[in-house]
Structure formats: structure tokens, C-alpha cells
Structure 1
Amino acid sequence: MSTLVPSGVLKALSLKQPFAWLIANGYLLVDDRSWGTQYRGPILIHASKGLYEAYYQHIKSNTDVPIPDRDKLEYGGVVGIANLVLCSKPGQLPAGISREQRAHFGGVHQEYYGFLFTQARPLPLMPCAGKLGIFEIDTDQLLTAPPAAQKALF
């Protein structure tokens, strides 16, 4: 698995843990949002400072997913990259998606949009602030900048 960081300005999406880890590591293919996007293509997975404790505990207790211990999860930066290939409400899925992909929309509320990710892979943590919605990150600038103070990331 390559850990090469893509170069240039890339789109990014911020998620709380464990969702950021699950997507970056290919365990979660669809994330739901109350808003949609026309964007398709590579997207950086940013881990915000937050943790959905109940969902984390559910994963730890009820699945075989090898999620790291809470203190090993990374926060406040880019943790992965994936391709955003579809944004759709569950009742409006195109006919061409696979049965497996279609099944992942089962947990998305009918009024929400599911973001379908493929080819996800983790990246070394790149500390930076997140934003709401889809935003842009210049990875070249991040990798050449001096380390930010931790408190500035949140």
C-alpha cells in the first residue's frame, strides 16, 4: 500500500472519528450528509477533533473491524484519500451501481445524500484545520510548512 501523498490543491471532507478512519481504511464506503455535491474525484479524508463515542464503542464491541484504540486514532488533519464516485439519495440511485455498493446506501435516510467512496487508502497524518462542506487543501503547502501548534488545529 502506497503512502505517497498526492501533490497540489485537492478537495477534502472533514469527518469525526471513527468515520474518517473507517473511510480511509476502506471499511465504510458510504457516508451520509444532509447536503449533496456535484463534485466527483479524489478527495482527502480529514479527521476533525471529534469522536462519536457510541459508534466507536459499537464498532469495537460488535464487529471484527481492526479499529485502533481510541488513543491511537488520529485527529486534526488529513488521514487518507479516496475517490468520491457518487452522491445520491437512496431512492435515486443510478441503475449502474453494483449490488454491494447499493447495499451500503441502506443506512442512509431517504432525505439525505450518500457519498460513495472507492479506492480509499490511509495517508500519514498531515495536521491541518478542517472546514464544513467540501473544501480545498494544498498538500504541497502543508508538507513544507513548519509544524503548527496543536491548539491551532482545532
Structure 2
Amino acid sequence: MGLPSGVLKALSFKQPFAWLIANGYLLVDDRTWATQYRGPLLIHASKGLYESYYQYLKLHSDVPIPDQDKLDYGGVVGIARLVWCGKPEALPANIRHEQRMQFAGVHPGYYGFLFADAAPLTLIPCPGKLGIFEIDVDQQLAAPPAAQATLF
């Protein structure tokens, strides 16, 4: 999936979740809220790192995750299609445990967001927001690097 132009929906994640989703290692992300939205979704990496989860992956998985200083932060790092949202017990049967990768288990009250056709992108610096939000891709790409740096 390439990068479409115009205004696109986005969802922000701490690293390493953003990298895992953009690179197709994590197919389901659990949230406390549901959405009716289905379609293309930019994967935004916040400025934060979930340190304990990063260390867990390094120690307990074969995922070739980059070193922390090689991960991108503070912008769009990928794109995927959000194809399903629902409770864990309704998750399609073909999704393996490894494709969830939640080391603390899945809370029965949470909603799984199922992604497909994920692809990493070169970092597009921009601020994130809570929930599903919109990013004008053309505007972000047109901003000179110095202007992008002032977004933070």
C-alpha cells in the first residue's frame, strides 16, 4: 500500500508498537474504545517508548526490531488498513497469538483493532493526537524540514 495524497486518518502508538504494526509483526492492537472506521490508517509513532515491552520483545521474540535509537519517533512511520474492530472473543480464528504479542494478556473489556496490508514509510514528522485523527499528507510533505521541527 503506497502513501495516498490528501487528508488521511491516523492513529498514534508508542514505539515499538508503531514499528511492529507498520512492519506487519503486530496485526492487532488493543484499545479501551471501539471505532466504526474501516480503511487506510496512517501509523503515527509518538515520542514515547514503552520500555518494558521493548525489552520483552528483545528477550522473548525473534522479531528483528531495531535498536531503540534507530526507531523513528514523532511522526508517521507507516500505513495499514484497519479491517476489523471488536472484542477479543470475536477475533477472527486465523489470527495467531504471536500476531497479538501482548505479553500481559488481553483484557476482555478491550477492543482489538485488526490491521492488514501494513507497509513502513519514511518518517513524516508531525504531531500526534489521542484517538483517530486526521493528517493532511500533502501539507506535511510540503513543509520544509525546519518547519517540521518546529511542530514539536
> Structure 1 length normalisation: TM-score?
0.88
1:16-27, aligned counterparts within 5 Å?
16-27=14-25
- Structure 1 gaps, min length 5: none
Secondary structure of 2:34 counterpart: coil
Which residue of the partner structure matches residue 66 of structure 2?
A: 68
Deviation per residue, 1:41-64 (Å, 9 max, x gap): 000000000000010011111111
**1:146 CA displacement:** 1.7
**1:102 CA displacement:** 6.7
CA RMSD of aligned residues (A): 1.8
Rounded Cα–Cα distance in structure 1 between residues aligned with 2:139 and 2:149: 17
**1:152 CA displacement:** 3.0
**1:149 CA displacement:** 5.2
Secondary structure of 2:151 counterpart: helix
Mapped contact 2:81–2:116 kept (Cα < 8 A): yes
Which residue of the partner structure matches residue 30 of structure 2?
A: 32
The answer to whether residue 141 in structure 2 is matched with residue 143 in structure 1 is: yes
Mapped contact 2:16–2:49 kept (Cα < 8 A): yes
Secondary structure of 2:8 counterpart: strand
Which residue of the partner structure matches residue 40 of structure 2?
A: 42
**1:109 CA displacement:** 1.0
**1:9 CA displacement:** 0.7
The answer to whether residue 49 in structure 2 is matched with residue 55 in structure 1 is: no
Which residue of the partner structure matches residue 78 of structure 1?
A: 76
Which residue of the partner structure matches residue 3 of structure 2?
A: 5
Which residue of the partner structure matches residue 100 of structure 1?
A: 94
Aligned-partner residue type, residue 151 of structure 2: A
Rounded Cα–Cα distance in structure 1 between residues aligned with 2:151 and 2:142: 17
The answer to whether residue 115 in structure 2 is matched with residue 117 in structure 1 is: yes
**1:5 CA displacement:** 2.4
**1:6 CA displacement:** 1.7
- Structure 2 gaps, min length 5: none
Rounded Cα–Cα distance in structure 2 between residues aligned with 1:151 and 1:109: 38
Q: Structure 1 residues 102 and 59, CA, compared in 2 at 3 Å: closer, same or farther? A: closer
Mapped contact 2:23–2:118 kept (Cα < 8 A): yes
Which residue of the partner structure matches residue 12 of structure 2?
A: 14
Aligned length: 147
Rounded Cα–Cα distance in structure 1 between residues aligned with 2:150 and 2:109: 36
